[in-house]
Structure 1
Amino acid sequence: MRRPAPLPAPAEEPAETTAAASRPRRRWPRASADAAGRVGAEGADAGSARAVGTDAVVGTSTPDAVRPPVAADDATPTIPVEPVDLVAAAEALASAEIPAAPISSGDVWRAARARRRALRAEIRRFTQRSRRRRIIWWSTTGALGVLLVGSVGAAYSPLFAVETITVTGTRAMDRTTVQQALSAQIGTPLALVDSDEVRAALTEFPLIESYAVEAHPPHDLVVRIVERTPVGVIRTDGGYTLVDAAGVELAAGADRPEGQPVLSVAGGTDTAAFRSAGQVVRSLPGDLRGQVAEVRASTMDDVTLVLADGKSVVWGSAEESALKALVLVALIDNSPGSRSFDVSAPGVPVVR
């Protein structure tokens, strides 16, 4: 076998070319405009630096120990660079006045159109809000008006006319008679019932002390009556007159009503003695009141009761009448044979 021919040895390069290739490549910093202006002035110094084989300081603080060696025959000039303050540069740029761009007629037209559009939108929004507020206000007012008119119309219409009259509170009076006296109100709307006509109809009944009229829709008229309470009879030339505690004449007749005491009061029904006697009679319990045959009084402080069995009771004034009645009942039960009782001072009663 034939061996391949050996490759030819590379030609040796000149020593200067090899030395230049083995030198490290230097990175030259960018020089500012001011530094470039000073190139001519510092040319001599740079030449002297190259002659002695030293490097110039190029805007850095790199120690000499780490600087790459510089060949003495390097003809490139060295340009020193001063450090730049970035913060000061940024502030100067921010404070610099930027000239405004020229305003054309198209810019003016577009601005005017945008302003008109914004104005129309604001007017439309305000108008819608006002319209909505007016609609709500008129709707509420109309609903209330319809409700009011409907209520008044229904109240004054025959739909709420009186069909029944109910009378309550009568004891000595005939309820049917009172209903017949008020029958003129039947068919009248409840809101139109005449109170004067009702009062005139009830005035015919002297036993009525007070009354109240109530409308109960849809058709019921209720009359609540409080009857007068008779306290006794007064002897007259024609017989006996039934009166209440105020002296109002309730009835008159030739015979004495059963269960009513005779009132023998000096001065008549318009005196303080009569009013005191009437309060005493009204404060008596039902059982004791039925036993009283006569009530005598000359002043308001000397009321005396005469029982049906002839016993007398000195009552005194109308004060503490409820306590005096309790004491009298106890005295009668404990002393059935006594004929006289004095309860004018209920704390110290006297029995004879």
Structure 2
Amino acid sequence: MRRPPPLPPPPEPRTPAEPPPPSIEPPSIDPSLINPMLLDPSRSDPSSPGDRESDTGAVLPFAPMQRRPAPIDPSLLTRPIETTDAADLGLRDVWRASRARRRALRAEVRRFTVRQRRRRMVWLGVLGALVLLVAGTVGAAYSPLFAVQRIEVIGTTTLDPNAVADALADQLGTPLPLIDDSEVKAALVTFPLVESYSLEARPPNDLVVRIVERLPVGVLQSPAGFTVVDAAGVALSTSAEAPAGLPVFDIRGGVDSDAFRAAGQVMRSLPDSIRSQVTAVTASTPDDVAFTLGGTNTQVVWGSAEQSALKAVVLEKQMIGRPADGVRLYDVSTPAAVVVS
């Protein structure tokens, strides 16, 4: 026979500030497991043979022991919380705390903006490289490295290119971007045959001058002699005798008239094969331009300067079909109805 479990110890005296411990309920015991001898004292004799075997089989279960919480010191509940008065903090402590806070904020900002700053640095690097490249290019272009050392004149047939280059010798040693167009124009205006020009820089040291010469279209006779003129009436040269290969103009009103401008336009529209045969050009108005083919003394009535390109094509075809040595007159004033006699 086993003894029942001991009773729990009595509770300790409570303090006013100690919370009440949790209540512990006694474990429930199955009545079938209780030893009958504890209920019936008459059966306490161990010599009873009938009960000896049944008394040894019952076992009382033990309730699990629950750990009680550690008691709380009452003095801790009544002890005042220690606080630091703001007045006890010095100015240096406040400054250090503020500096530490700013340092922490800067660190966080740098950490969250690292990608943006990296992208900004890349763009600043590219922009700086472009600025350096442009500055270096401009600086080199305006330096003596790109100064003019040779002048080349092209496009001339009557003019002497060396004479033109000598007239532009003042530009030697000048950087190509600093070539003054007004100075070049002042040097070329002394050549009447120059109708237009263009400048072309060929780095590092070459300057190319392209010349378009005036095309002489005829000769005007005056008391001073024979003056060669182009289609615009610009005097190219004057001589005592009529130059060979150029027709003599007989224009009413001179070079400033509309008749002269129409005659000059007609002469420029003629093909070289016909222009070389013209010996005289006459015009009293812009609508009655005519010229003479000196080899055969054939007259060509042109009319106005309108449709000059078409009239030149029609005249050339007519002269192929009916040569000028057997023709007295070609009238192409109306290209759709040419008269040949």
User: What's the TM-score, normalizing by structure 1?
Assistant: 0.63
Equivalences for 1:18-33 in 2 at 5 Å?
none
The one-character-per-residue Cα deviations of 1:193-244 (angstroms, maximum 9, x if unpaired) are 1212111111111111111111111111011111111111111101111111
Q: Distance in 1 between matches of 2:253 and 2:275?
A: 24
- Which residue of 2 is the match for residue 151 of structure 1? 137
Equivalences for 1:88-127 in 2 at 5 Å?
122-127=108-113
Q: Distance in 1 between matches of 2:269 and 2:103?
A: 92
Equivalent of 1:219 in 205, 227, 248: 205
Q: Tell me how far 1:131 sits from its aligned partner.
A: 3.7
SS at match of 1:165: strand
Q: Tell me how far 1:165 sits from its aligned partner.
A: 0.9
Q: Tell me how far 1:328 sits from its aligned partner.
A: 2.5
Q: What letter corresponds to residue 216 of structure 1 in structure 2?
A: R
- Which residue of 1 is the match for residue 306 of structure 2? 319
- Which residue of 1 is the match for residue 178 of structure 2? 192
SS at match of 1:269: helix
SS at match of 2:236: strand
Q: Tell me how far 1:297 sits from its aligned partner.
A: 0.4
Equivalences for 1:45-194 in 2 at 5 Å?
122-129=108-115, 131-194=117-180
Q: What letter corresponds to residue 234 of structure 1 in structure 2?
A: L
Q: Does 1:341 find its partner at 2:341? A: no
SS at match of 1:243: strand
Q: What letter corresponds to residue 152 of structure 2 in structure 1?
A: T
SS at match of 2:263: helix
- Which residue of 2 is the match for residue 302 of structure 1? 288
SS at match of 2:326: coil
Q: Distance in 1 between matches of 2:318 and 2:113?
A: 92
For structure 2, the 5+ residue unaligned runs are: 1-80, 82-100
SS at match of 1:242: strand
The one-character-per-residue Cα deviations of 1:264-306 (angstroms, maximum 9, x if unpaired) are 1111111211111001101111111111111100111110111
Change (3 A) 1:133 1:225: same
Q: Does 1:285 find its partner at 2:271? A: yes
Equivalent of 1:254 in 193, 218, 240: 240
Q: Tell me how far 1:254 sits from its aligned partner.
A: 0.9
- Which residue of 1 is the match for residue 69 of structure 2? none
Q: What letter corresponds to residue 164 of structure 1 in structure 2?
A: R
- Which residue of 2 is the match for residue 270 of structure 1? 256
Segment of structure 1 superposing worse, 321-330 or 199-208: 321-330
- Which residue of 2 is the match for residue 350 of structure 1? 339
Q: How many residue pairs get matched?
A: 239
Q: Distance in 1 between matches of 2:251 and 2:303?
A: 14
Q: Does 1:205 find its partner at 2:191? A: yes
Q: Which 4+ residue blocks in structure 1 deviate beyond 4 angstroms?
A: 115-121
Q: Tell me how far 1:127 sits from its aligned partner.
A: 4.7
Change (3 A) 1:118 1:163: closer
Q: Does 1:329 find its partner at 2:316? A: yes
Q: Tell me how far 1:117 sits from its aligned partner.
A: 12
The one-character-per-residue Cα deviations of 1:89-117 (angstroms, maximum 9, x if unpaired) are xxxxxxxxxxxxxxxx9xxxxxxxxx999
- Which residue of 2 is the match for residue 70 of structure 1? none
Q: What letter corresponds to residue 327 of structure 2 in structure 1?
A: S
Q: Distance in 2 between matches of 1:216 and 1:198?
A: 17
Root mean square deviation of aligned Cα: 2.3
- Which residue of 1 is the match for residue 22 of structure 2? none
Change (3 A) 1:181 1:302: same
Segment of structure 1 superposing worse, 132-141 or 146-155: 132-141
Q: Tell me how far 1:327 sits from its aligned partner.
A: 2.8
Identity %: 58
